Amino acid sequence: MIEKAPQKDVVIKVRDLVVGFRDQNILNHLDLDVYRGEILGFVGGSGAGKSVLTRTIIGLLPRREGSIEVFGTDMLKANEEERRSIERRWGILFQQGALFSSLTVRENIQFPIREYLHLPERLLDEIVVAKLEMVGLHANVRDKFPSELSGGMTKRVALARALALDPEIVFLDEPTSGLDPIGAGDFDALIATLQQTLGLTVFMVTHDLDSLHTVCDRIAVLIDGKVIAAGPMETMLASEHPWMKSYFHGARSRAEARPARHGLNR
């Protein structure tokens, strides 16, 4: 589970996916593989359908054609029990955190645990503290309500909730948006650390070039409803595609100034 398998083990396999609204197809025969134990950064212009793909994979949006296999099972063909067991194995960090506003931080983190496991109260409380400390928060936030948290804290608590059941895959929707550069850097480091300790597979939708440089093993680019390129940063930088050129070599990119770093201490 933790060691990166030498042969590439595909955990999410998307084939020929078409998703659309009314007469417009947002995703047009899209293919994508996510390998076990990697951090995949997913980029694309605003409105290109990054969130649509994420939401389709996790089953929030219907699809018109194609197949999505997670851990080798197609969610559409799976029965109720199989679906629940797959849902148990992933965690999702929504862009705005999506913490339940009427529950405290502790109850938010315990919510999925209570749903799936029957654990003694004491263990539940200890796990909350362990999870909070893992995401770099002090245990004394546990009795606060989401409305009392700052933006960065909300993201961390939401991450703790996404990690509550020790999932194998986490979906992160713009995890560093709305954080200051220091906070965003910390969050990137946190994701890299957690990925290493827990052996996670991370599917990260992001616009943060720093995140792409520092933590992502591979980057997939979504343009015109298709993944037009997928590979490490070097491949992205070498690409001649005009959109990718302006994205990775633009004014805000640091590729020109500094050599690309790949991964945190790995």
Partner 1 sequence: MSEQSLLEGRADGDRLTLVGSGVWTAVEAAELERLIEAQTAASERPRTVVIDMARIEKFDTYGAWMLERLIRLFKERGTAAQVVALPANYQALVDEVHTVNFKNWPAPEEENKVLTTFESIGHTVYTVIHSLRAALDMIGAVMVALLRVLAHPRNFRLTSMVHHLDNVAWRAVPIILLITFLIGCIIAQQGIFHFRKFGADIYVVDMVGILVMREIGVLIVAIMVAGRSGSAFTAELGSMKMREEVDALRTMGFDPVEVLVLPRVLALIIGLPLLTFIGSLAALYGGGLVCWLYGGIDPDVFLQRLREAITIDHFKVGIIKAPFMAMVIGVVACVQGFEVKGSAESLGMQTTASVVESIFLVIVLDGIFAIFFASIGM
> Near partner 1 by CB under 8 A, which window of 111-119, 175-183, 238-246, 247-255?
111-119
Q: Which of 61, 98, 139, 229 binds partner 1 (CB under 8 A)?
A: 139
DSSP string of 140-196, one letter each residue: GGTTS-GGGS-HHHHHHHHHHHHTTT--SEEEEESTTTTS-HHHHHHHHHHHHHHHH
- Binding residues for partner 1 restricted to 7-66, rule: CB under 8 A: none
Minimum CB distance to partner 1 smaller for 17 or for 163: 163
120: contact with partner 1 by CB under 8 A: yes
Rounded Cα distance between 133 and 193, Å, is 13
Minimum CB distance to partner 1 smaller for 198 or for 229: 198
In degrees, rounded to 5, the angle at the alpha carbon of residue 197 between the alpha carbons of residues 193 and 198 is 115
140: contact with partner 1 by CB under 8 A: yes
Closest CA to 42 of 221, 185, 174, 209: 221
82: contact with partner 1 by CB under 8 A: no
Closest CA to 51 of 82, 68, 84, 26: 26
Rounded Cα distance between 153 and 112, Å, is 19
115: contact with partner 1 by CB under 8 A: no
Closest CA to 30 of 39, 168, 249, 42: 42
5: contact with partner 1 by CB under 8 A: no
> Near partner 1 by CB under 8 A, which window of 112-120, 180-188, 216-224, 243-251?
112-120
The tokens of 85 are what? 């067991």
165: contact with partner 1 by CB under 8 A: yes
Q: Which of 16, 102, 224, 238 binds partner 1 (CB under 8 A)?
A: 102
Beta strands 39-44 and 201-205 are parallel
CB of 172 to partner 1, least distance (A): 18
Q: Which of 131, 156, 161, 218 binds partner 1 (CB under 8 A)?
A: 131
- For 48, list phi and psi in degrees, rounded to 5: -75, -20
What would the x/- binding string for partner 1 be over residues 173 to 202, using CB under 8 A? -----------------------xxxx---
Minimum CB distance to partner 1 smaller for 15 or for 89: 89
Minimum CB distance to partner 1 smaller for 113 or for 219: 113
Rounded Cα distance between 169 and 226, Å, is 22
Rounded Cα distance between 40 and 57, Å, is 14
Q: Where are the beta strands (DSSP E) in the chain?
A: 10-21, 24-35, 39-44, 65-70, 73-74, 90-93, 169-173, 201-205, 218-223, 226-231
- For 204, list phi and psi in degrees, rounded to 5: -120, 115
> Near partner 1 by CB under 8 A, which window of 123-131, 151-159, 230-238, 242-250?
123-131
Q: Which of 16, 74, 115, 126 binds partner 1 (CB under 8 A)?
A: 126
CB of 206 to partner 1, least distance (A): 24
List residues binding partner 1 (CB under 8 A).
1-3, 100-102, 113, 116-120, 123, 125-127, 129-131, 133-134, 138-140, 145-148, 163, 165-166, 196-199
